[in-house]
Amino acid sequence: MKITKVLTILFLISSLFLVLPSAWASDVRGVTDKSIKLGMLYDLSGPGRYAAPWITAGSNDFIAWINDKGGVHGRTIELIHEDNGMSPNKALAAAKKVIFKDNVFAIVYSQGSAATSAIIPLCEEHKVVVFPMGANKHFYVPGNKWVFVPTTVNFSQASRGVEFILNKDPKAKIGVIYQDDGFGREGLDGARAAAEFMNTKLVKEMSYKRGAVDLSPHVRAMREADVDFIVLWTYLPQTAAVIKERAKMGWDVGLLTNSTNPYPAALFHMTGEIADGLLITVPYMPIHSDVPGVKQVKEVIKKYGSAKYLENPMFQDYSYMVIGWSYMNTMVEGLRRAGRDFTPEKLVKALESVKDLDQKGIVPDVTFGPDRHVSSFETSILRFDAQSKKFVLVDPYKEPKTPQD
C-alpha cells in the first residue's frame, strides 16, 4: 500500500512538471508554449499610409524567415496588424484591440509620434513594451520603462540635416516649414538646436495644419525672407506641394526633408523631374545600396512572398521594408536574451542589455541600456536623382554634434 501511494505521488509530481511550461505560458499575455503574439500599429488611412506596404511586407517576411528557423526558443511569432491612422484616438482604439482582444505580448511597431504618445499610459499600465517609429525626443528624455526606440528620432534627424547644410555653407539662411503637431514641432526643435549650436538662427519658421495641401503662402514667405534652404518637416503630399510651388516661382532654393518621404517613385509621380536634388535625412540605407543587410533582405523577400515589390515600378525603392526588418530583428534579439521563461519585465531587462546589435548596415547598430532607450542618433543624407528615380547616398551615417539630450 505504501509503495502504491509513493508511486502515485511521484506520478502526480512528474505530471505537474510536464504541464508547468504550458501553465506558465498561460499566465503571460500573448504567449503559449508554442507561440508569441506581437502587435503592429501602422498607418493605413492617414498621412503616413505610403509606408504601410513596405512595413508590412518587410516585417512579415522577416518573421516567416525566423519562424522557418525554429522561431524564438521554439516558439513561432504571430504578427497582429492594426491600422492606427497615425491619430491619437484611432491609435488608442487600435492598441486596446491588440492588447485586450488579440492579447499581444508586446507592440513591436507603432507608427507616428502623436499616435504612440497616446498609447504609452495604456502600455505602462498593462506592461506592454512598445517600439515607436517616427519617434520624438520625449520617448527617451526622460523616457519610459516600456518604450524602446530602435531608430533615430525626429530631433536628431533635423539636427543632422541643418548641420549638413551649414557645414556646406556656414552663411546659409535657413527656413523651416513644419506640420503643427508633435512630429513637426520636434523637427523644428531639432533644427533650432542645430542652428544655435552652429552659431546662427533660423531665418523663418512657418507651420501648417495637418492635411493642408496649399502651401503656396509658406513658400512665398520663405522667398520674401530670402532663405537659401528650406527644411521641410512635412509628409509626402506637402513635400510635393512645396516642390511644385518652388518650380512655379522659378526659384532654385534648396530643400531638405525627413524620413517620412523615402518614396522616389511616388515622388516622381507627383512632381516629375522638378524634385531633382531634394535632400532627405534618414536613419536607413536605400534598398538599392550594397550594404550586406540589403542583400539579405532581398533574398528573404524573394523567398517569402513579397517579391512583387521588386518588380512593381511604384515600389522600386521600398526602403521601409528595411525599417520593418530592423524593428523585428531588434525585438527578436530581446526575446532571445530574455530566455524561454520570459515576462514583460524580463524583456525590458533583456533589451537594456543589447549592445552594438549588428543590423548589417541597413540601419545603425542598436545599443540600449538602463538609462538609454534610444538605439542611435545617427542618420545619413540622401539626394533624389530624377534621372534614375532613386535616392542616392550623399553622406553616410553620422551623429549630429548638436547635444541630443
Question: Is-contact 227 203, C-beta < 8 A?
Answer: yes
Encode pLDDT of 172-226 as tens digits: 999 999 999 889 999 999 999 999 999 999 999 999 998 898 999 999 999 999 9
pLDDT over 70 at 320, yes or no: no
CA-based nearest residue to 40, from 88, 93, 101, 83: 83
Query: Considering the entire predicted model, what is its pTM?
Result: 0.86
Higher pLDDT, 360 or 297: 360
The residues near 171 (Cβ < 8 Å, ≥ 6 apart) are none
- pLDDT higher than threshold 90 for residue 94: yes
- By DSSP bridging, strand 106-111 and strand 35-42 are parallel
Distance CA 222, CA 216 (A): 10
Query: Which pLDDT score, from 0 to 100, does residue 350 have?
Result: 98
What letters, b where the CB count within 10 A reaches 16 and e where it falls short, cover 143-171? Answer: beebbbbbbbbbbbbbbbbbbbbbeeeee
Q: What DSSP line would sit under 150-215, residue for residue?
A: -S--HHHHHHHHHHHHHHH-TT--EEEEEESSHHHHHHHHHHHHHHHHTT---SEEEEE-TT----
Domains of the chain as residue ranges with CATH: 35-152+288-374 (3.40.50.2300), 155-282+381-398 (3.40.50.2300)
